[in-house]
Structure formats: structure tokens, C-alpha cells
Structure 1
Amino acid sequence: MFSPETDPSEIVTTIGSTLHCATDATVESICRYLDSFEWNLYLAGAALEERMSGTLANTGRELRWLDLGNHGAVVARQMIAVDPDFVESLPEGPVRGLLAPVLGIRRLLPMAELRICTHGLRVLNDDDKTVVRILIEESRPIDAAGHRLQALPARLFIQPVRGYERKLEATIQRLQSSLGLHSGMLCEPATLFQQALASVGRRPGSYSSKLAYQLDPQQPADAAAKQILRGLFDTLEANIDGTLHNLDSEFLHDLRVATRRTRSALAQIKGVFPPAVVDEFKAGFAWLQQVTGPMRDLDVYLLDFPNLRESLPESMRDDLEPLRDWLRGHYAEQQTKLVEALESPQFRALREDWRAFLEMPNSPSLAPAPRNARRSIKSVADSGIRSMLKRVRREGRAITDASPAEELHELRKSCKKLRYLMEFFESLYPADEIRGLIKQCKILLDNLGSFQDLQVQADHLRDSARHMQAEGAADTATLLSIGALVKTMLDQQVQARKAFTDTFTTFDSAANRAAFKRLFAAAAGTDAKPTPSTDCNPAGNPDSNLGDANQA
């Protein structure tokens, strides 16, 4: 790899004057680096390179799987004929086999694009036979608007020819002398990947929906709460464009999770903001949760349809296909409604007002403040988690075999709030201990979520069957297959209900109670004196829609 200032044509001229060469035609190609929005491949230590000769219309396209842990070595190649997006769009092959478990349901997106000019030279012997091949590669990044950016440093490749391997070393030595080559100029396949991303301002691994706050235990609670809410807002905004263009279902999922976490933070980090502010934004984000729900429900059904189909006897599986067609028929309608909501003045105003609030300086120290605003975030976190834990235990212990489903639903909401609080404040506690308790909470939530979601899905399927029958979209066989599916779900719900007692008993075990008490015990004398004010104590109720409540 040469310095950025080196002109590739000068390299060709220098080589031509040093060696007996023949010049090949310059070859133009396109190189793209692909990954998901959340960098699934990069985080798995891989990069996906797409190489195309000539124009985009050319069907000579090759996917290359690069192992970044091995200097970007190409470990698999596969020819394709269409734009790669989802795994299902690719033909069977070695790259698809590596890609499927890493990419999952996400779409491949172009992260960087290069226009490459390759100048080829053939070193000839006295008989004009080719003994060594030399390639000089000039790469120029292309930005999102299609503009060519400053060229990357030129790269030189020297390739042996079978039968003339001894000529390779002599050629390298002569080029080292004429071009000033040295070991520091060696480049790896991974280098081009890194340069291409940097040239268009991409930072691998820059997006994650996971919470990773680093809070100061003595930080004022209002400042820490805003730090948490700003991070959630960043996640929400990062997913708007992908949701509008329906690039894949995870954009909407992450947007909804960020919305639900925002509502939970507003409701559960109590007494740090004025009540009127909390009520205003809780209502705004509740609206956002509502308008994004129907599209998410369709996503969940269509994503899970293969599993629903497989849960039926083989003789009934094809009879379920009209349901898939009916769901797909409503998809475009719901996407249009979703876009209208996200492009509405109401959503624009919510975003602008929320951003202004988050960027607003906290109240001066002499001004009246909500009662918990000046307390340390650690003390607020401790008391909030203790309070929610007591509610979870109280509600869970009250549930018997005769309890109605609504009581399990209420417990699920409380448990979800507890989980969110622990995730918000994870950095305030020893990592192993807090993560272990979060895991216990998730296990309980998985059980409660299965119980409730199976009921919601069964009700939704029954409702869909009625609509399909009224529209003439389902014959008797299809209605019977839906009925069988509903029965399967209700049977599974019964099993989830039976498993609840053991699941909650484990969560409420003496060992877990001791771990919670040790981690979230009150520490006397650590708080600043509260400032008198009217407390805000909204009753948080972050709602859950089908399928994404337990994926947050």
C-alpha cells in the first residue's frame, strides 16, 4: 500500500521502465461492504464483501466472507445474481451458510462502496512468456449521494505464475528498489475494509439497542435520569428512517422498545421531574406506542408463521396458507398508516419538545425542585428497585391456582418495570451480581410473557378467522386449521400457567431474596437533603404488544 499522494499511473510507468512488461486493459469494478444496521457480522468478527465487475447491471457478482480475526482472509466465496438483502434472497452456498446464523432476520445494508480501477501488468521473459502478474488497484469511495470522494492509497499485488515461481522473488526485489517498497507498506484485506468505512464516516459497532450507561453513584438523580432518557431517544431516532422505509422488522421493534423504556423511566424514576412534564410526555409516548402496535403485530405473525405452520399436523399445514396471504394483504395498509403517524405533525412536535426538554439545563441549586431531583441517583435507584421488588413479591405470592389471568398480567407489568429499573442502573452495582438478578427477572418474565402472549395470539387468530370468513377469504379447511392452531396455543398456555408456581418460587427463593437485599439495601446518610416540592408519582403502565414485550 502506497501513500495517499502516490499517483497509480506513476507506479505503472515506474514498473514499465524497470521490468520487461506487457500492459493489460484496465478493469473497473465495484466493491461494497455489507452488514446489518446493528453490525451483526462485524461483531461476529467477519465482513461481507460484494465484488461486481463493470456496471451494476453486470450479473458477475461475487460475495466474499472475510475473517477479520485472520487479517481479513477470504474464507468463503459465492456467486449471486441479485442484490443481497435477506438471507432468504441468497441461493444456497458457502456464504449463505455462514451468514444465516449471524444475520438472522436483519437485512444486509451497504455500509461502504468503492469504485476500483485495476491496472494489470504482465512481467515477460526473453520469450515473451508471462512469468509474474502485477496488479495496481486504485480505490475511490462513493458517498450516499453517489459522489466520488478522495481516493484511498493505491495497492499493489504481485502474483506468481505456475511454473515460474522462482521469478517472483527476483521481481519483488527489483520493485523494492525501484518503488521503494518495504515491509511497512504491506496491507491486508481487512485494511481496505477499514479504510472504506472510515472514508464515509462509518464506525463499526456504533449502534446497539442494548443499555450501556455509566452512571456516577453520587450524580444528581435528575441529571442521571436525563442521561438515561437521552440514550433511549438516540436509539428511538436511529430507528425512524429504517422503520419508515420498512427495511426490516427490527427497526420498528427497537423503536418500540426504546419507547416503552422511555415510558417506564418517566414513570418509575420517581420525583425527579415536575409532574406536569412527566404527564405530558407519558401521554405523547403512549400515543407512539399505540400507533406502532398494529404493524408490529403483523410483523410478529409473519415472522413466526413458519413455526405456526409446523405446529400443525402435516395434513393441515397447507390449509393455513390463506391466513398468511390475508395477513400480507393487510401489511401495506398498516405500513401506510405507520408512515403517516411517523411523518405527522404530532410526532414531529413530540420529538422537538422532548429533545428540548432533554437538552434543557437542570434547575439551579436555589430553585425549588422535585423531591428526588437532588438526591444521589444511587439512593433513588436503591429505593425504586426495593419498592418495585416488594410489589412483585406481593403480587406473585398472592397468585393461586384459582387466580384469574388478569393477576398474572399485572404481575408481568410489575416485573417488567423491575427489570427496566435494574437495567437502567446496572452500572451502579457489581456487574456479576446485578446481571444474575436481571437474569432471574427475565426467566420469570419469559414465563409470564408466554402465558399472556399465547392468550393474545389465540384471541387475535379467532378474530382474524371471523374477518376472513366474512370477507370470503377462508374456506372450511382454513378455518379448521386456524381452530387447531388456537387449540395448540391454549394448550401451551395451560402448560405455561402450570409452570408459573415453580418459576416464581425460584425467583422468590431465600437465596434470591438475600441477593436482592444485599445489593439494594438502604444506605443511611448518603443523600443530599431533599428540596421540598410537589412530588410526581405517576402510575406507570408501559403497555406491551404482541411479541416484542419480552424481547426488549
Structure 2
Amino acid sequence: MQWILPQSASLAKLADALAGKYHLNSESSQAEHLLIVDDFVNHIIRSGCLLVRQGETYQLYSEEAETLEFSSKKPFHFAADIAESEFRQRLRSLISVRKLDAVQEFDLQRQFLTLRNTDDKAVLKMELLTTLNRQILLLKPVRGYEKALKQVTMQLIAMKAESCEGNLPQVLLTLSDYQISNYSLRPQLNLPQDILARDAVAEISLTMLSVARQNEMGILHHCEDTEYLHDYRVCLRKVRSLVSLLKGVFPQAVFLELKKRLGLLAGKTNKLRDLDVYLLKQDDYQARLPDNLRDGLPAMFSDFSLQQKRARRAVKTWLQSEAYASEMNAITGIFRDVGTLPETELSHQSLQTLIKKKSRKCFRKIGEMGVLITPETEDEEVHELRKECKKFRYLLDFFGPLLQHDKVPEMAARLRKLQNTLGKFNDYSVQQDALMQYLEAGKRGDDLAKSIGALILILAQAQQLQREKVELRFADFYSPETKALADQLFQ
């Protein structure tokens, strides 16, 4: 049982109220330092869990599962840094590959107390925690002395103490008024129903560019957390796709300028992102190869690490340059000043009408492309289907609320299953091409050549398995039920 004492109350006041029947003894005290650990997005706290560090001990609290413990003499920053265990698996499920840091610290003074009766028998154990100029009293009942617990509880209520549930770190976090991050790659847009098409594109683009820029400091100072760059690029990709999907709302010259500038921003980080991905797949690549074919991989990943460091320096230099600031200012300036641009046929059209038309066209095109896919279809045509699905997904993500229909999430879920298969198919294809280019780019030792050759073969087999699933996933998606759902959403 935990009670937060009002600032006007004190332990002495409680002792005075109990005098005559009980006396309060202080046994000992100790100072403690407690850290709440999480990532940039607060994935752990948002999930209802807490990761707490005290000294060398980490505790992962959860409302749904038992508390897990892990000991480490040195602070760790990634789930991958610790040995395989239930703790690591649980932590990885919460933060994936994100970096951990202390997000809140507490200096605690813990005082151990015993409440004794007139016979000097211990009837209640207590702990008084002092931090943040507040006091928390923990009551630990002694069997057979429930009456003492009841009387203490009544006095605490009379003192207007506040009963609090949950683990102690959660109580401390609440007392500290810690603000959980509101960062999201899918921010709430709340577009008005009557918003015009061009205004909507501008508002969404400015929002996504703002989210992208929230990742700049992470790229500069916490670059080992590769998700900063990933999220930055996702935001730029969404803006580029949105501008292309609704390009008719801009004059042609403005559309081409936006496309060029956004492409430049994304292109500056392509090399680094590719290397990040390959290095993140290091364990996966090792696991795919038999022991006798792994000898060459360390040399390749060592080479990738050196290239990654150079690419990081280049990206950091770019992000801190006047040229970068100028590009960002030019892009945001266009979106902020859309009201001054010449009108086009679509610029002042109702957004809702335009989105239904675009979504209907996109859904129909996915169907036309998908039904033509056979086992003999070229990979490039499968990739084109993936791109069209991505356009459709962005339309649903950005403008789903405007459709005012509770079936939009169902359509998105059906699409996601097809996208997952197409995405894996594309990833395997890209990885094979990159490994082949690396192999052909310079003189490679026999061990390295064997490892890469075997890895390319294994990835090709994995790609083929995904290729065989494409037609099945497409048939599941482009079913009579989904067509009927599209008719409801986009009529």
C-alpha cells in the first residue's frame, strides 16, 4: 500500500496521532539513485511498461507480465548489446533497434520504520521515500496485526494523504509531471471536411516536414540509432508521394521544383541508409549461412562499417550546411505561401471529392496490374505493383478520416497484407543487387567471394518464396469483398 503525503503533513504528525497506542521507530535510512530508461519515442512507457535502472540492476515492469531483471555493470543502449534472454526478447519487442537513454532521474532518500504497540511488538513495517520535495509512505502489513494497519490508514485519510496504486517508479514518474513524447510518424492531421485540395497538401506537407526535422538532432548526435535517419526519410518520402499524387493542385513549374528539391534532400541520405540496413542485417545474414561459408562476412561488414562512418560524416556535414537550410527554407516557403500561387484546375477542388476519385483510380489500377501477374511476369512489373500499393496506402493514411467511413481501417489492413509480401520480395531483390555490386566493385578474397555468392543464392531462394506468395496475397486482397468495400468507400 502506497500513500502520497500532502506537503502540509509530516511523519511526526502521524506519530502524534497514533501516540498512546503505538510508537514509531526509525530503523535505518539510505540514499538511492533511480533512472527511468526509454527511447526517443517513449516506446516502453507508451506500452504501459517501465524500464528502471538502480545501480547495476535493470528491472522491466509490466502490468501484464511479471517483472524481469537484468544485471549489467555498464549501461547498455541497445537490446542487441545484451545476451540472449527473456529480458532481451521482451525489450526488443518494445524498442526494436532504437537507442535507450535515461529519460528521468530520481534521487531518493529511503527511511525504514517500524510501528510498535505498547508491548513493543512490531505491528506494521513502513518505508518513507523522499524525493521531488514529496513524501511517499509504503505500508507493509504484519500478519495478525490488521487492526494497526486499519488505524494507520484511517489517520492517513484524515491527513488527506492520497492512496496510489502501481509500482513505485510509475508513481515517481507521475509525481515528476514527466511529459511523454507525442512524436509520431502518423500525426493527427484533423483536416476540416471543407478544406481545399491545395491547402490540404500544403498543411500535410508542412506537418510531415516538421516531423522530419525533429529527427535532425538525433541524426547529428545519436547517429548510432539508425531510426532517426529512417524516420527522417519516411517523412520526406511521404511528402514526395503526396505532391506527386496530387500534383495537379500546383502549377507545373512549382510541382517540378518541389519534386527536384525533395529528391535532392532524400538523395543525400541514400548511401547512409543503405549501409545502415545492411549492417542491421548482420546477424540475419550470419544465421542464413552454414558455418563453413561465414568466414568472408566479417571482412564485408568491416568494410561496410568504414563506409558507414564516411557516409555519416557526409550526412552530418550536409545537415549543418547553409545549402541544406536553404533547401528546407525554399520547400517550406512554397507550402506556406500556396495562397499566392496561380490557380489550377484542381487547386480549389473539394478535397473529399478529389480523394475519392484518386483512391478509386488507384484501387482500379492495382487490380488491373495484379490480375496480369503470372509466374512468368518480370520482377520489375511486380515492383510496379508494390509502388502502386504504396500510393494507395498513403491516400488512406492521409485522407482516410475525410472519407467518414468506419471501414477505412479494414481496407488498410487488407492492403497491408499484400504490401508486406511485396515489400519482402523487393527487399530481397535490392539486397541481391547490392551484394552483387559490392562483389564486382573490387578485388575480393576467396572466402569473401564464397560467402557473398552463397548469400546471394540464399536470398534468391527467399525471394522466390515471396514471389510465389504474391499471386495468393493479391487474390486475397482483390476479392469480391474488397471490391464491394471499395465501392462503399469511394463511390
Q: TM-score, normalised by structure 1?
A: 0.76
| TM superposition shift of 1:488 | 1.9
Q: Does the 8 Å contact 2:39/2:98 carry over to 1?
A: yes
1:314 has 2:291 as partner: yes
SS of the residue 1:209 aligns to: coil
Matched residue, 1:333: 310
Equivalent AA in structure 1 for residue 459 of structure 2: M
Among 453, 456, 463, the alignment partner of 2:437 is 463
Q: Does the 8 Å contact 1:213/1:427 carry over to 2?
A: no
Q: How does 1:367-386 map to 2 (within 5 A)?
A: 369-386=343-360
CA RMSD of aligned residues (A): 3.4
| TM superposition shift of 1:156 | 1.2
Q: Does the 8 Å contact 2:49/2:60 carry over to 1?
A: yes
SS of the residue 1:158 aligns to: strand
- After TM superposition, the structure 1 stretch with the greater mean CA deviation from structure 2, 209-218 or 42-51, is 209-218
Matched residue, 1:170: 148
| TM superposition shift of 1:453 | 2.7
Equivalent AA in structure 1 for residue 81 of structure 2: S
Q: Does the 8 Å contact 1:63/1:95 carry over to 2?
A: no
- After TM superposition, the structure 1 stretch with the greater mean CA deviation from structure 2, 77-86 or 396-405, is 396-405
| TM superposition shift of 1:82 | 2.2
Among 188, 195, 212, the alignment partner of 1:236 is 212
| TM superposition shift of 1:258 | 1.0
| TM superposition shift of 1:247 | 4.7
| TM superposition shift of 1:461 | 0.9
- The 3 A distance-change label for structure 1 pair 79 and 311 is closer
SS of the residue 1:271 aligns to: helix
Among 387, 411, 422, the alignment partner of 2:396 is 422
Q: Does the 8 Å contact 1:36/1:108 carry over to 2?
A: yes
Q: How does 1:70-469 map to 2 (within 5 A)?
A: 75-91=67-83, 95-96=87-88, 98-123=90-115, 132-140=124-132, 151=133, 153-160=134-141, 165-166=143-144, 169-170=147-148, 173=151, 177=155, 180-181=158-159, 185-189=162-166, 193=170, 196=173, 199=176, 201-203=178-180, 206-210=182-186, 212-244=188-220, 245-360=222-337, 362=339, 369-397=343-371, 403-429=377-403, 433-467=407-441
| TM superposition shift of 1:308 | 1.9
| TM superposition shift of 1:511 | 4.2
Matched residue, 2:47: 44
SS of the residue 2:249 aligns to: coil
Equivalent AA in structure 2 for residue 512 of structure 1: T
The share of aligned pairs that are identical, in percent, is 24
| TM superposition shift of 1:263 | 0.3
Residues in 1 aligned to 2:268 and 2:61: alpha-carbon distance in whole angstroms: 41
**Number of residue-to-residue matches in the alignment:** 485
Q: Does the 8 Å contact 1:47/1:68 carry over to 2?
A: no
Q: TM-score, normalised by structure 2?
A: 0.85
Q: Does the 8 Å contact 2:78/2:99 carry over to 1?
A: yes
Q: Does the 8 Å contact 1:78/1:93 carry over to 2?
A: no
SS of the residue 1:301 aligns to: helix
Matched residue, 1:32: 35
Q: Does the 8 Å contact 1:112/1:200 carry over to 2?
A: no
Q: Does the 8 Å contact 1:393/1:508 carry over to 2?
A: yes
- After TM superposition, the structure 1 stretch with the greater mean CA deviation from structure 2, 506-515 or 100-109, is 506-515
Equivalent AA in structure 2 for residue 37 of structure 1: F
1:475 has 2:445 as partner: yes
Matched residue, 1:525: none
- The 3 A distance-change label for structure 1 pair 126 and 439 is closer
- The 3 A distance-change label for structure 1 pair 191 and 361 is farther
| TM superposition shift of 1:69 | 6.5
Equivalent AA in structure 1 for residue 309 of structure 2: A
Equivalent AA in structure 1 for residue 43 of structure 2: N
Equivalent AA in structure 1 for residue 138 of structure 2: F
CA-to-aligned-CA distance 1:163-214 (integer Å, 9 cap, x gap): x6445743763685499445x621224575366367465126x222235444
Q: Does the 8 Å contact 2:4/2:164 carry over to 1?
A: no
Equivalent AA in structure 1 for residue 457 of structure 2: K
| TM superposition shift of 1:96 | 3.8
Residues in 1 aligned to 2:234 and 2:402: alpha-carbon distance in whole angstroms: 22
Residues in 1 aligned to 2:196 and 2:67: alpha-carbon distance in whole angstroms: 51
In structure 1, the gaps of 5 or more residues are 52-59, 141-150, 522-552
| TM superposition shift of 1:378 | 0.7
Q: Does the 8 Å contact 1:125/1:131 carry over to 2?
A: yes
| TM superposition shift of 1:419 | 2.0
Residues in 2 aligned to 1:180 and 1:43: alpha-carbon distance in whole angstroms: 35
| TM superposition shift of 1:75 | 3.1
Q: Does the 8 Å contact 2:369/2:385 carry over to 1?
A: yes
SS of the residue 1:48 aligns to: strand
Q: Does the 8 Å contact 1:121/1:134 carry over to 2?
A: yes
Q: Does the 8 Å contact 1:90/1:96 carry over to 2?
A: yes
Q: Does the 8 Å contact 1:15/1:175 carry over to 2?
A: no
